[in-house]
Structure 1
Amino acid sequence: MTNIQNDALDRRILRALQEDGRMTVQALADRVGLSPSPCLRRVRQLEKAGVISGYSANIDQKAVGLPVSVFVSIKLERQRAGNLDAFGVAISQWPEVMECYLMTGQFDFLLRVVCADLEAYEQFLRNKLTQLDGVASIESSFSLGAVKFSRVLPI
């Protein structure tokens, strides 16, 4: 954490907001042991410093018709900066790709793709992923279920 106090109060604020980003300033202040004004001031500092990068709703992917998660390992023909960047630009435009990581080891990228069913994934694979220049190999692994899924960082 830069440009903030980085103390136990900031960490308590961050933990509380990760668990419930919609709580009022009063509820947050009560939970962390501050009065509302200093609590809000700290939240604004955390936002300004980029520690809090935004707020969003957590949506159940099954409830919105996207029950399938596929982890896709990609190896590129070349690992030059331009090739890595071009792949990243293409992937960032596809809403099915929820996460994309540049990796070390056997593969260059690891993606998490969500879709409605196997047919939808096949269409994604055929019409998007295999159409990219420079892709040497694609390996897909289908998730059978989540054992643990958390957006709360251990701070």
Structure 2
Amino acid sequence: MPKKPAGQESTLDAYDRAILRIVQRDNKTPQRTIAEQVNLSAAAVQRRIAAMEQGGVIAGNVALVDPQAVAATITALVEVQLENERAAMVDRAKALFRDTPEVQQCYYVTGGVSFVLVIVAPDMPAYERLTRRLFAENDSVRSYRTLIALDRVKAGAGIVIP
């Protein structure tokens, strides 16, 4: 998806922001309903949504699935420290984590670790196999620490839009 360079001024106006607030809550809201709520025509809402998708403001449309409903009972937060922070090693790690379906979220971070991952697995044996492949047998990984979630208190991807 195209992304704006860091620091580039946003071109979103009040209508775009109002539309984003609505589609973040429920992206299946009919465009005519959105149009009524933001005082635009349905065609204008459709054009604005298409422009925000094209511009990378709307990065995707997904369904939030309850892991328990699909027997994904282990949610782990994993801190990963790489052997070093050289660009090539970081890029390889990013690609590996991005291409691993069990990695639900991945953040390259500061503060003593290199990455923080959110991983979902069906059970502990599957999680152990995954950690062996991603971390224990990976020469780029210095260490990793796992925190197992006891309860999913909140899950979402919404951004507060001023």
C-alpha contact (below 8 Å) 2:31/2:46 kept by paired residues:
yes
Q: Secondary structure at the match of 2:101?
A: coil
Matched, 1:35 2:44: no
Across the aligned residues of Structure 1 and Structure 2, the Cα RMSD in angstroms comes to 1.9
Counterpart of 1:144, as a letter, is L
* Paired position in structure 1 for 2:133: 127
* Paired position in structure 1 for 2:56: 50
2:19 aligned residue (13, 20, 26): 13
Distance 1:147 1:96 in 2: 20
Q: Deviations over 1:18-42 (max 9, x none)?
A: 1111122111111222121222222
Counterpart of 2:65, as a letter, is I
Q: Which runs of 5+ in 1 are unaligned?
A: none
C-alpha contact (below 8 Å) 2:135/2:143 kept by paired residues:
no
2:85 aligned residue (79, 83, 93): 79
Matched, 1:114 2:102: no
Counterpart of 1:53, as a letter, is A
Distance 2:41 2:80 in 1: 50
Deviates more, 1:115-124 or 1:126-135: 126-135
Q: Which runs of 5+ in 2 are unaligned?
A: none
C-alpha contact (below 8 Å) 1:97/1:113 kept by paired residues:
yes
Counterpart of 2:33, as a letter, is A
* Paired position in structure 2 for 1:104: 110
Distance 1:4 1:75 in 2: 34
Q: What percent identity do the matched residue pairs reach?
A: 34
- TM-score for the superposition, normalised by structure 1: 0.91
In the TM superposition, what is the alpha-carbon distance from 1:129 to its structure 2 partner?
2.4
Distance 1:134 1:121 in 2: 19
Question: How many residues were matched structurally?
Answer: 155
* Paired position in structure 1 for 2:69: 63
Counterpart of 1:39, as a letter, is V
C-alpha contact (below 8 Å) 1:77/1:134 kept by paired residues:
yes
In the TM superposition, what is the alpha-carbon distance from 1:102 to its structure 2 partner?
0.7
In the TM superposition, what is the alpha-carbon distance from 1:82 to its structure 2 partner?
0.9
1:94 aligned residue (77, 96, 100): 100
